[in-house]
Structure 1
């Protein structure tokens, strides 16, 4: 049912077709503020050239509380249907199920377009109506808002954005979202009007309806009888006026598309589907290493680049071409697309590229570029990402399968980076190549395929060409790497030397990354071992807890929680955070946890317990301090006593679906002033109410004010409580679900600089 006019109902999960095209922007000067500006975002939107670039700009430059995962852009096509045109973080099933949306349906994108106003769908609504957990936005406390794009009373499409809001979107944020959607709508309308102007009169879509595909760039009257270019719209009229060719490379799928002018510039025959030739089939062999090195650098940094090179035309003729493009990054900083222009610069003496002087020097430059990319990788996943995002397109490869040696066996790790159909393809490649990868590692020698029509006939699923590289570092077998190519090729002696050198660099990086992963895993396990394995089952209450370690560097921290059974029948609830992120913080945390437990079970009230624990910390041989919160609860009567030492205040979720922080005056952190007393507060937790205690890592976000983050969490808790309904929140499964939802938004951040701990405690209603 559509919402009432005075209700902002939570949004849709309707998702999109292409991956996000997030344009990289020139970084600000050193020391400049990095906060995002809504006005800057709108200004950049007005310069975008495609729907995909618009969505990417919203994700890259819009407010940080637009999470990106699960966002999409719909355009009305010539049949009047909403068609998914660009998206981010969507699984394959969502593309198939919501690829086309009927404007008369009850899906939120359709509702928003009919109502001509934003339609908000909250996280619990999403999890009920769209329970598939493989959706990029998950099923957590993230809202989705669908915003109609209407220009001069004419509908253009719908923008769907996933938000980190956990409750009702504030009016000020809604104004920002509506402004962004309006800018997107006007820009799309402008682009589509220019595209329409290039079409014959009888081919234009009906008035008020915009095609989501549009004509291919370069299509004009002279080309009317020629094969169409790619279905991806390249809408710049300046490209056609200058006689340049436009191209697009999808770095996720490996596909490349040219418009007709690009084929003309390079002197290549036009392919029916607009697919571009392979890089090594296009670029002059002597220039190929230079191009690969320059491309590797551009992929590693993102942003604009220019490369000059020679291309081989039919009949053995050579032409000089300049390629000017932009590597576009997604919200996680990974390259996802390249788009740009090809220009014939044959009249110039030499192309405007930094020529290395010789093919050997160019190959060295390529290896240096790949080495720099791998040197920044810390974990095995980082290494795999660098190979996927930079090495694969720079080498012109169709795919890379990376296996690591684990207890004498080769296990694939590439699948941790790819998703969707790419994962299926890699699984097939891994199955096909298992024997040859093992053989190459056993022989400690690389294997290279050679063109063979007979082989292709025997195994049509096998790649056209491939190289298998054993990965050996410090005399130890690390793994094996399969690099596949879409077209047959012969590997020259120089090629084999290049790939062998790359294998050595990759092996060293993997060995270092595996060592790091091992140490980090052990440190994390040490910290987990100091936390309760399970929460005790206590009468009259339900409880749930979560702990998430930091993901940055070797950071292990001092977050801890505890649920205590006290001698007088009361329940003790403890949460704390030791300053620092190292082994010392973890060790101090273990001592504090033991000391506080001893003081509490001796019968001291929360204020006295914290005072004694503070003195204990000051007597330890450390300069660290800690924040802490300690509460006791009488499950029978609901009496609550509490004290806190510099820690975030606990949150009460009432039976009326309100989430409020307890009025709890605090003292200094433990260990700062051991003689300072702590105020004791007496309150009451009614039957059916819930308490949340947490460490600041749950809400802290570098891109947002801390108080605003807390308010978003409170709004999300209220939303959850309203939709869970009276009596349901106390169920154990429901409380566990709430704990998952609270931590979901944290797990989807690019990085987690701090540990996260939380504890939920619900006082049961008495049985009738």
Structure 2
């Protein structure tokens, strides 16, 4: 196969092209994380630049904790830290997963990035160092040479682009807005030590100002929103005295009331899909009249396709004409879209319907309760302009909070506190089956009646950050059943019109239906998973001469219960049987067939048949069942006294031997067809030997299979991980049981970190002890 046609190569080449068009250090790091190979995880990645004093300064990062930013924002090139070592050695400097979990960035830190590999790559152009690119990798073992080549190529592209920017425009720096760069990249202190130093190319900034455009940025992770002085002037709001960025006014304080539903609908569409968008709307002027605005921006998504940042420009469509010359009628709000195409204006009722439709489409893609809460966090909250949304679900007659789907940090603590404070008012709203709306400003003018008299959540913290300026509590009822309650809070005062209340009530109905469907799915999936688990051994038997460990992980996509199974058998004459198999398909039938095969194979094995004969009989059994499914299987026996292995393989991945000298190799076992495919065909019997201190791994393909990577490359990556573990973990014979458990956790770690798991996973580790007890 042409290596240029592999997913990794295509991704790397596209990434290099995009890197050569970046305009800042933060954008370079964000592009590497977003467009580079998927095994660059992002968490714990950073970009350092050499300042005029010869020190390495942290310019952009992702996933580094605050203590690391404070302690390692400046790195001495003469130190022993990874960035300094890469620059001194002028080659990639690798840290294994074990080292990053113990001593990254150094032994005194006390915290690490966990079980990931980290590589520091020097950025050098014409023998002149520019900085260092530090990336966290999903590798669980030795980084293959081909992957190092890709990493060095990306670092070279970053180095050349930075050298050009330094020569033509001064050093790229962190964004003025303080928000996240693409894909959640966090800016570090600028070369002058000012964390608010700008990143934009000066010529680009000058062109934006000359065109009369304003710039804005919204960090969806932290909730921070910033507009520059020109953007504020365009919407007739006072600019900060220093001329820098300022927190943005809420949408309902800027956008014309008739255009607001259009803007919210467009924003909901953009947040749900990501990518560029364009919206036109009117802004009322305090002296009378309106100004027409075009907002052009882009929604940035992280590696899990969650929106993390919005940034763009605001333009005056009337080009500064006097208010009297501007058309003051006619709706101009336009829909967002990935193409940037705009549609004509609509009525207020149609715009609200469009917003509900956008939210409905987003919620319709949510499968689990977690998916629903993610959609509420990522799409509904920004579209409504809400500060927070808290969901409670009815569980056995009680309201219990749903885990808040936020990005962590202070907002998680804040939401937890808000959920506690709002428990009473959410229960009252559900008991009455009536939405509650709080309008403190309106109530202060003596106009509040009835529902406005409810005490707002967090009122006991008057003046504190948890006391919302306005809020709505929506009872969630689906098919006549109480599902839960939803609290929506706002950071600025507002009045809920009759149309607003109708909109939020309709949203509550849609949300309730989505949650009810998601809870039903979660319940069915849990029961199916438990059924499959019940067919697997609850514990592995304690057998003489060996130590063992096993893991099973169910699929996370759809109702995909599968047919993976494993077994450890006590056989006649003191031998030990090891079985692992995978039935085709992901449904109840596959699980049922798996149970029948497991029972049949166990019976044939305990009757004393060798592995080849056992598989042949099991294949005939499957062919006689009323099913069209087939299965792969590996069955081997071990004599713990002399280490003799006898094995047969039916279309299953080969077992892996991990020797005491830290070498991991696949056993070359001849195989036959999957079970049930050719029931009359015999299986070859292979004989191997397992010496004391060696470990055997058998697994199903879900452990290594990755849609974005060639299967053979995934297997080689796993073998490298095993070798790295064996070199750094010490002899297994010292404490074989705990060591195998740690190895099983390490092998499954890469699978559990994936956003979704399309296939279930099973693995079994067997270690031959030095003595038979």
Partner of residue 356 from structure 2, selected from 357, 367, 371? 367
Cα distance in 2 between the residues matched to 1:108 and 1:33: 29
Deviation at 1:596, TM superposition (A): 0.8
For the pair 1:662 / 2:667, whether they are aligned, the reply is yes
Aligned residue among 310, 315, 318 for 1:338:
310
Q: For 2:577 and 2:138, locate their aligned partners in 1 and report how far apart those are by CA, in whole Å.
A: 32
504-513 vs 278-287, which deviates more? Answer: 278-287
**Does residue 507 in structure 1 map to residue 507 in structure 2?**
no
CA RMSD of aligned residues (A): 2.9
- Structural mapping, 1:39-438, within 5 Å: 39-76=13-50, 82-90=56-64, 98=72, 101-129=75-103, 139-140=114-115, 142-151=116-125, 154-191=128-165, 196=170, 210=171, 212-213=173-174, 233-235=199-201, 236-237=204-205, 238-271=207-240, 274-347=246-319, 351=332, 353=334, 354-438=343-427
Q: Which residue of 2 aligns with 1:619?
A: 624
The residue that corresponds to 2:544 in the other structure is 539
User: C-alpha distance in 2, partners of 1:535/1:92?
Assistant: 43
Q: Structure 1 residues 392, 250: CA separation in 2 closer, same or farther (over 3 Å shift)?
A: same
Cα gap change, 1:397 to 1:213, in 2 (>3 Å): same
Post-superposition shift, 1:569?
A: 0.7
CA shift in 2, pair 1:417/1:617, >3 Å = farther
CA shift digits 1:563-605 (9 cap, x unpaired): 1111211111100000111000000000111111111111111
Paired residues, what number?
Answer: 712
CA 1:574–1:514 in 2, change beyond 3 Å: closer, same or farther? same
How many Å apart are 1:214 and its aligned residue? 6.7
Query: How far did 1:104 drift?
Result: 4.0
Q: Deviations over 1:165-197 (max 9, x none)?
A: 33332333222211212222333444455654x
**CA apart distance, 1:299:** 0.8
Query: Could you report, residue by residue, the CA deviation over 1:375-404 in whole angstroms, capped at 9, with x for unpaired residues?
Result: 111111111111111111111111111111
Q: Is the partner of 2:661 in helix, strand or coil? A: coil
In structure 2, the residue matched to 1:17 is none
Q: Which moved more, 1:410-419 or 1:537-546?
A: 410-419
- Whether 1:749 and 2:754 are equivalent positions in the alignment is yes
Corresponding residue number in structure 1 for 2:11:
37
Q: Does the 8 A contact of 1:688 with 1:730 survive in 2? A: no
Contact 2:266 2:355 in 1 (8 A): yes
Aligned partners of 1:215 and 1:189: how far apart in 2? 21
- Check the 8 A contact 1:542/1:730 in 2, yes or no: no
Which stretches in structure 1 are left out of the alignment for 5+ residues?
1-31, 197-209, 218-227
1:127, CA displacement in angstroms? Answer: 2.6
Q: Give the Cα–Cα distance (whole angstroms) in 1 for the partners of residues 58 and 303 of structure 2.
A: 19
Q: Provide the C-alpha distance between the structure 1 equivalents of 2:479 and 2:313, rounded to a whole number of angstroms.
A: 45
Q: C-alpha distance in 1, partners of 2:70/2:481?
A: 45
Distance 1:317 1:83, change over 3 A: farther
Q: 1:413 to 1:741 in 2, by over 3 A?
A: same
Give, in whole Å, the separation in 2 of the partners of 1:611 and 1:135: 55
Structure 1 pair 703–442 and aligned structure 2 pair: CA distance change class (3 A): same
> Corresponding residue for 2:652?
647
Once the two structures are overlaid, the 10-residue window that deviates more, 70-79 or 355-364, is 70-79
Q: Is the 8 A contact 2:103 2:110 kept in 1?
A: no
Q: 1:675 aligns with which of 677, 680, 683?
A: 680
Is residue 742 of structure 2 the alignment partner of residue 737 of structure 1? yes
Contact 1:248 1:338 in 2 (8 A): yes
Could you list the per-position Cα deviations for residues 668-717 of structure 1 after superposition, in whole angstroms to 9, with x for gaps in the alignment? 11111111111111111011100000001111111111111111111111
Cα deviation 1:500-527 (Å, max 9, x = unaligned): 1111110000000000111011111100
1:609 aligned to 2:578?
no
C-alpha contact 2:643 2:691 (8 A) present in aligned 1: yes
TM-score by length of 2: 0.87
Residues 393 and 138 of structure 1, relative CA distance in 2, 3 Å threshold: same
Q: Give the C-alpha shift of residue 153 in structure 1.
A: 5.0
Residue 659 of structure 1 and its aligned partner are, at CA, apart by 0.4
- How do 1:472-511 and structure 2 match up within 5 A? 472-511=477-516
1:470 aligns with 2:445: no
767 and 537 in structure 1: CA distance in 2 versus 1, 3 angstrom threshold: closer
- Contact 1:112-1:118 within 8 A present in 2 as well: yes
Per-residue deviation at 1:229?
12
Between the aligned partners of 1:445 and 1:287, the Cα distance in structure 2 is 28
Q: Could you say what secondary structure the match of 2:94 adopts?
A: strand
Q: Residue 568 of structure 1 aligns to a residue in which SS?
A: helix
TM-score of the superposed pair, with normalisation by structure 1: 0.87
Are residue 448 (structure 1) and residue 437 (structure 2) matched? yes
Tell me, yes or no, if structure 1 residue 632 matches structure 2 residue 637: yes
CA distance in 1 between counterparts of 2:389 and 2:34 reads: 28
1:615 to partner: Cα distance = 1.1
Q: What SS class does the counterpart of residue 315 from structure 1 fall into?
A: coil
SS at match of 1:563: strand
Q: Deviations over 1:466-503 (max 9, x none)?
A: 11111111111111111111112121211111111111
Deviation at 1:270, TM superposition (A): 1.8
Which residue of 2 is the match for residue 516 of structure 1? 521
What is residue 587 of structure 1 aligned with on the other side? 592
1:85 is displaced (CA, Å) by 4.3
